[in-house]
Amino acid sequence: MTALGVDVGAALNLIGALLRYLSLAFLVPAVLALGYDEPVWPFAVSGVITAAAGVGLGAMTHGRERIGPREGFLIVALVWLLIPAFGALPFLLDEPQLSNPMDAFFEAVSGFTATGATVLTDIDALPKAMAMWRQLTHWLGGMGIIVLAVAVLPRLRIGGRQLLESELAGPQEVERLGATIRETARRLWVLYIGLTVVAILALASLGWSGADPAMNLYEGVAHAWSALALGGFSTKNLSLAAFQPITQWVILGFIVLAGINFLRLYRVIVQRHASLVARDEELRLYLTFLVVGSALVLIEVLAGGFLSGAEAVRSSIFQAVSIMTTTGFATSDYTRWGALALMTLLVLMFIGTSAGSTGGSIKVVRHLLVWKLIRRELTQTVHREEVLPIRLSGAVVDERALRSVVIFFPIYMGLFALGAVLLAIDARRSHLALGAFDAIGAAAACLGNIGPAFGFAGPFGSYEPFSDLSTGVLTGLMWLGRLEIIPVAVLLSRRYWRA
């Protein structure tokens, strides 16, 4: 029946199911709105529309529940487009700052892909429920809607593995945390939820104990959701600068934690395999990068006299960590800092977190493998016949996986360059004062799902000045970055669609 090699109907069917579940998510802001005496109707209506769409899709593609590995690429690509599309409904319906559909979509994509870039110019002005919806989009998208789906939907017993692998990215096979893929996905979400609860309590208690008057349960939930998802949205214009140092340190801790491979984290925390930590090369490199990055930024901040004392240390570390883990929270305006700091932060944008975490960008494990590859290449230049398998934390890495890691780099850099150029060209067309460095920063920040960049799009700024075309480009970059590009490349090849 399908002349195509891919069962589009099945993909749409799954999306329909996901939309039906998404519609439930609107309950949270709806309830909040009731509680805070704000308009409930945007969320109610959005929920209904989403549910209807979900049901409609399901009806249209009835009977096509089975999905195979091939559909995975299409599903992943569509999910990260369609879910935010419906997630943008509340913005479109009732948020004056986001009345432009392009802007609303940008904000929603930024939310679900856990980027954290915003086109809002005044976040403080948002109603509490709307602001919390923004934060919720981060949390839902962080661990991955797809992982959630695999955990929950029985139909995904088949094809679930491929989906999970597309979601959790990284060059290696997904370690099992249980007997089935479903178990693995479930446990990941349990860990995620668990950590979130701990974070909420930690933050909320800071408020209850009086250590931070600005913190309360609402803010605790909002920022815990954003931190665990490594997203970066805040309910405040001043991001974390609005809170006390102690809060910033606590959030920092959770961010670092969330940047670690969740599969590994599960084994260590829940299954108590503490020894894994020592052997894990990716973890060591991740921490090393964090330390070195922080140090470089700190040097510049102190040398240039931008900040001093404890604040300098805290801000430098926080900023470096926030950028590298692709979160995007800010404790001070780093766009004012000197060249070394800015260049370091730019470089950190290209490093990323560990694979299998909620972060984005290139990912530490890829850098690690590429480094090993380069060294092997040099050795093999001298010793041509020597067989040198590449090992990661003791286990041998398959050559095919290595190849895809190597290919990933030029693609990523190429897309980044293309994005930067498009922004630069469009800026001239739309008479926007966009420096080359700022264009580069914006492209990198969106592709890597980081969030704030430089210039006017800095941590306390907004992406609002960009034209619609540029906003579209940036949205595309966020989408591609979250997907780690390859699924889209696959969708673009003719082979995929042929039988």
Residues that bind another protein (CB under 8 A): 70, 73, 338-340, 343, 347, 370, 373-375, 377-389, 391, 396, 400, 403-404, 406-407, 409-411, 413, 421, 424-425, 428, 435-437, 440, 486, 489-490, 492-493, 495-496
Helix (H, G, I), strand (E, B) or coil at 392: strand
Which one, 95 or 484, has the nearer CB to another protein? 484
Q: Least distance in Å: CB of 64 to another protein? A: 20
Q: Are strands 395-396 and 391-392 parallel, antiparallel or unpaired?
A: antiparallel
Which one, 278 or 492, has the nearer CB to another protein? 492
Q: Least distance in Å: CB of 388 to another protein? A: 7
Distance CA 328, CA 452 (A): 6
Distance CA 30, CA 41 (A): 8
Which one, 193 or 374, has the nearer CB to another protein? 374
* The two structure tokens encoding residue 167: 């979601």
Q: What backbone torsions phi and psi does residue 94 show, to the nearest 5 degrees?
A: -140, 20
Burial (Cβ within 10 Å: 0-12, 13-18, ≥19) of residue 62: exposed
Burial (Cβ within 10 Å: 0-12, 13-18, ≥19) of residue 281: middle
* The two structure tokens encoding residue 350: 């290209």
Q: Least distance in Å: CB of 359 to another protein? A: 21
Q: Least distance in Å: CB of 457 to another protein? A: 16
Which one, 1 or 387, has the nearer CB to another protein? 387
Which one, 151 or 369, has the nearer CB to another protein? 369
Q: Least distance in Å: CB of 402 to another protein? A: 9
Which one, 176 or 375, has the nearer CB to another protein? 375
CA dihedral 357, 360, 361, 362 (to 10 degrees): 30
> Residue 492, Cα to own-chain centre: how many angstroms?
23
Distance CA 184, CA 192 (A): 12
Q: Least distance in Å: CB of 287 to another protein? A: 22
Q: Least distance in Å: CB of 257 to another protein? A: 29
Which residue's entry shows tokens 């984290």? Answer: 265
Which one, 6 or 188, has the nearer CB to another protein? 6
Distance CA 381, CA 238 (A): 53
Tell me if 118 sits within 8 A of 445, measured CB to CB.
Answer: no
Distance CA 474, CA 110 (A): 10
Which one, 156 or 424, has the nearer CB to another protein? 424
Which one, 278 or 396, has the nearer CB to another protein? 396
Which one, 168 or 191, has the nearer CB to another protein? 168
Q: Least distance in Å: CB of 86 to another protein? A: 28
Q: Least distance in Å: CB of 424 to another protein? A: 6
Q: Least distance in Å: CB of 458 to another protein? A: 16
* The two structure tokens encoding residue 2: 């399908």
Q: Least distance in Å: CB of 110 to another protein? A: 26
Within 10 A of 181 (CB to CB), how many other CB atoms are there? 23
Which one, 28 or 440, has the nearer CB to another protein? 440
End-to-end CA, the chain: 11
Q: Least distance in Å: CB of 349 to another protein? A: 12
Which one, 176 or 403, has the nearer CB to another protein? 403
Distance CA 67, CA 70 (A): 8
CB neighbour list of residue 302: distance below 8 Å, 6 or more residues apart: 308, 312
Burial (Cβ within 10 Å: 0-12, 13-18, ≥19) of residue 343: middle
CA dihedral 487, 490, 492, 495 (to 10 degrees): -160
Which residue's entry shows tokens 């839902």? Answer: 140
Nearest to 84 by CA among 44, 159, 138: 138
Distance CA 92, CA 357 (A): 31
